[in-house]
Amino acid sequence: MKKSFDFSAQAVMDLAGADAARALAEDVGTGDLTAGLIDPQRSARAQVLARESAVICGSAWVQATVQQLDPEAQLAWHVRDGEHCTAGQVVLELQGRAQALLTAERTALNFLQLLSAVATKTARYVEVVQGTPAQIVDTRKTLPGLRLAQKYAVGMGGGINHRMGLYDAVLIKENHIAAAGGIVQVLARAASVAGQADFVQVEVETLAQLEQVLDAGASMVLLDNMDLAQLRQAVAINAGRASLEISGGVTFEGLRSLAETGVDRISVGGLTKDVKAVDFSMRFLEL
């Protein structure tokens, strides 16, 4: 398995195609009984409208959903991934077989509303920390089966991807340290897999633990559930030796204060775990 996902254009299309195939199988099953009432030779035009302002994300997933049902369908995007739309704006126009567009409608909108929600929320967090050293980072708290799609959406909102899974990076937590017999021991063992990992990171809960892992040579440290005073002390103790990341207790209201402590990264599980779908609708037009 590859260490990370590069989100190149072709890779995204391949990912979207696999996600769309799985979603259509779930929704369509043996066939769309209602769309079957429509003349299979009939063509249709439709528009997708945004009901609220948002950062658009998910165009590849919409395209894959529609074109798996009608390979000849035409899609014209007026707002591209990573761009903002306004309430009432037409973001997409489609033309193809009426049956296919009707069958694709809900699955396509499900992808669009979820991924745009992730991108929109991420963009809000990124805006708040502008002017500080802090970057907004995602976590593994994603919808099962849609992790890569959601992490792509985080990128479209201006955020940074943490590890994709357990296979591409090392994150040493309290239980790992206990099981290995100590911080020095587990970091020594981590060196043996460093060539397979994008990074090695150690989680600490106290300033004493921070000093210990820094003395042991840690280059990335996760500061878990520390208050503002502790975070400022942690930055001073670190003195630029390691990349510092905040985890736990992060709220939108307190985000700016956390960023101003001088840490390098703030990880936010809510970017992918606690999102409210963006409202889109599809309208069919007369030919």
What's the CATH number where 245 sits? 3.20.20.70
Q: Is 122 exposed, middle or buried (0-12, 13-18, 19+ CB in 10 A)?
A: buried
The answer to whether residues 91 and 140 belong to one domain is: no
Yes or no: say if 39 and 98 are a contact pair by the CB < 8 Å rule.
Answer: yes
Q: Examine residue 60 and state whether it is found in any structural domain, yes or no.
A: yes
Q: Is 274 exposed, middle or buried (0-12, 13-18, 19+ CB in 10 A)?
A: exposed
User: Which of 45, 140, 141, 147 is flagged as catalytic?
Assistant: 141
Q: Examine residue 30 and state whether it is found in any structural domain, yes or no.
A: yes
User: Which of 93, 224, 260, 279 is flagged as catalytic?
Assistant: 224
Q: Examine residue 214 and state whether it is found in any structural domain, yes or no.
A: yes
pLDDT recorded at residue 3: 47
Q: Examine residue 4 and state whether it is found in any structural domain, yes or no.
A: no
Task: Check if 141 is active-site.
Answer: yes
The answer to whether residues 140 and 75 belong to one domain is: no
Strand order in the sheet with 220-224: 135-137, 265-267, 243-247, 220-224, 200-204, 170-172
Yes or no: say if 137 and 283 are a contact pair by the CB < 8 Å rule.
Answer: no
Q: Examine residue 2 and state whether it is found in any structural domain, yes or no.
A: no
The answer to whether residues 110 and 20 belong to one domain is: yes
pLDDT recorded at residue 174: 86
pLDDT recorded at residue 2: 42
The answer to whether residues 119 and 251 belong to one domain is: no
Neighbours of 254 (CB within 10 A): 11
pLDDT recorded at residue 230: 97
The answer to whether residues 186 and 103 belong to one domain is: no
The answer to whether residues 205 and 117 belong to one domain is: no
The answer to whether residues 120 and 167 belong to one domain is: no
pTM of the predicted protein model: 0.94
pLDDT recorded at residue 287: 60
Yes or no: say if 112 and 62 are a contact pair by the CB < 8 Å rule.
Answer: yes
The answer to whether residues 248 and 141 belong to one domain is: yes
The answer to whether residues 46 and 106 belong to one domain is: yes
pLDDT recorded at residue 4: 63
The answer to whether residues 111 and 151 belong to one domain is: no
* 28: containing domain: 9-126+275-285
Alpha-carbon span 246 to 244, nearest angstrom: 7
pLDDT recorded at residue 196: 83
Task: Check if 19 is active-site.
Answer: no
Q: Examine residue 87 and state whether it is found in any structural domain, yes or no.
A: yes
Encode the chain (287 residues) as per-residue pLDDT tens digits.
344 678 999 999 999 999 999 999 999 999 999 999 999 999 999 999 999 999 999 999 999 999 999 999 999 999 999 999 999 999 999 999 999 999 999 999 999 999 999 999 999 999 999 999 999 999 999 999 999 999 999 999 999 999 999 999 999 998 898 898 888 888 888 888 877 888 999 999 999 999 999 998 899 999 999 999 999 999 999 999 999 999 988 999 999 999 999 999 999 999 999 999 999 999 999 76
Alpha-carbon span 17 to 12, nearest angstrom: 8
User: Which of 106, 241, 276, 283 is flagged as catalytic?
Assistant: 106
Alpha-carbon span 198 to 201, nearest angstrom: 10
Task: Check if 224 is active-site.
Answer: yes
pLDDT recorded at residue 184: 81
How many structural domains is the chain composed of?
Answer: 2
The answer to whether residues 176 and 254 belong to one domain is: yes
Is the C-alpha dihedral spanning 253, 254, 257, 258 positive or negative? Answer: negative
Alpha-carbon span 54 to 95, nearest angstrom: 24
Task: Check if 173 is active-site.
Answer: yes
Q: Examine residue 3 and state whether it is found in any structural domain, yes or no.
A: no
The answer to whether residues 110 and 137 belong to one domain is: no
Q: Examine residue 1 and state whether it is found in any structural domain, yes or no.
A: no
Task: Check if 151 is active-site.
Answer: no
* CATH number of the domain within which 50 lies: 3.90.1170.20
